[in-house]
A and B are shown apart, each in its own frame.
Chain A
Amino acid sequence: MDAFGLLVSEHRPRVVRTAYGIVGSLQEAEEVAQEVFVKAWQSLPDYNQVGAFSSWLYRITVNASIDRLRRRRDEASLDEFTQSGGTLPVASRGERELPEETVVREDIARIVREAIEELPPNARATLILREYEQLSYKEIAEALDIPIGTVMSRLNYARQVLRRRLIEGKHLDET
C-alpha cells in the first residue's frame, strides 16, 4: 500500500467520526473527510512534527467541518435525520433490545443531535473530540490550538446545554 493509501486507511474512521459529530450527516462527513485527506496530503510539508500527527489531522478535520457548516448556513438548517425522520446510525445497546428501549434510545439520540446543532461550531468540535474521540484536554487544546482553560469552559458549556435539553425531554432528572 502506498503512503497515501496508508494515511487514508489508518485515519479515515477518526476523521469521518469527528466530521460526522460536527456536521451531523454521514454523507457530508465522508465528503469532508475527502477534503481533509487531500488537504493533509498537500500540506504534509507544513507539518512541523512538533505536535502529534493525529492532532494536526484533527485540526484540519475540525476546520474543514466548520467550513462546511458555514457554507450551508444559508441552506436548510434541519439535518438529514430530522428531514427524513429516519434513525441515526448509532450502535444499539444489544441484540435483545426491547421496542420501548429502542424508542427511548432514538429519542435521546435525536435530542442530543438537535442540542449539538444548537452549539456554536467551536464548542461542538470540543465536545466531539472529547466524547467521540475521548481525547484528553491537552490533546484537544493541541488539536484546536486553544488553552486548556478554554477547552474546559467550552466542554462545560456544551454539556450544560445538552443536560438542559435532556431534562426538557424528560430523560434526565433536574438536580
Chain B
Amino acid sequence: MKHLEDWQIQCFLDGELDPGSRDRVQTHLQSCPRCQDSLQAVQATSWAIRSTKPSPESLRYGSELWQSLTQRLPRRRASTLSWFSLLPPFLLGLLGTSASLLISATHAAYALQRMGIMPPMGSTMVDRMAGVLASPVLEDTVYDRFGWSGDQVSQSLISFWGDVNQSTHHAVGFLACLFLLGVVLSSFVMLYMFWALCLMRADGGVLTGRAGRARFRDGKGG
C-alpha cells in the first residue's frame, strides 16, 4: 500500500485539498493505521502551536499604554492630492464661470438692443453669416466640388432663412440653445466624474465613505 505524502496530510489537515483528493485521502486514512498516526502527529503539533496563541485577555496587555501612544500617533497623512487631481475642479470652475459670463453677456446684449443702444442683433448676425458663408476657404474646399460660388450659397441660404416663418425661427433657435446647453451640462458631468475618480484614487479609496469603513471593519480590501 502506498502511504500518504507529508504534504498530502498537511493539506488535508489545513483543508487545502480539492474535494476529489480529500475523499481519496479520507478513504486511505480509514484503512491505514500508519497514516492515521502521521495525521494525529501533525494534528497534535498544530494544537501545540495554537496553544501558545495569546489569549484575548493577554492582548489587552499594555492597552492603556497603547491608548496614550495612540494620541501621539499621526492623525493625518501627508496630502496625497497632486496638481493633476486638482485640475478637474479648476477646469470645472473655469467652464462654469465662462458659461455664466456668456449668458450674462447675451442678456446684456438683448437689453442694450431693446434700449436702442445697440443695433439689432438679427441683422448683424445675418451680415456676419453672409461673410462666413462666402469665405474663400469654403469656396476653395467645399463649394469648388459642387461648382458653387460663395455669394450664391450665402444669398440662397439667407433668402431661405428669410422665407421661413417666425415660429420655425424660434424652434430652430430653441433647439440650438438646447443642444448647446446639453453639451455644456455633459461637460460638467464628465469633469465632475473625472474629478471624483481622481480624488478616490488619491485617497486610496479606503478612508472615504461607508464602503471604506466597512472594508476596515471586515479586514478586506479591493
Contact = CB atoms under 8 A, between A and B. Distances in A.
Interface of A: 2-8, 10-14, 16-17, 20-21, 26-27, 30, 33-34, 37-38, 41-42, 44-45, 47, 49-57, 88-91, 105, 108-109, 111-113, 116, 127, 130-132, 136-137, 152, 155-156, 159-160, 162-163, 166, 171-173, 175
Contacts, number: 167
Given A13-B56, A91-B55, A137-B16, A54 B45 contact: no
B77 to A, nearest CB: 6
A110 B216 CA distance: 35
Contacts of A111: 48
B77 A130 contact: no
Interface residues of B, number: 55
B58 A26 contact: yes
Contacts of A132: 49-50, 53
Interface of B: 6-7, 10-11, 14-16, 34, 37-38, 40-42, 44-46, 48-59, 61-62, 65-66, 69-70, 73-75, 77-78, 80, 202-207, 212-213, 215-217, 219-222
Nearest to B217: A10
Contacts of A50: 222
Given A136-B16, A152-B7, A49 B205 contact: yes
B209 to A, nearest CB: 11
A41 B73 contact: yes
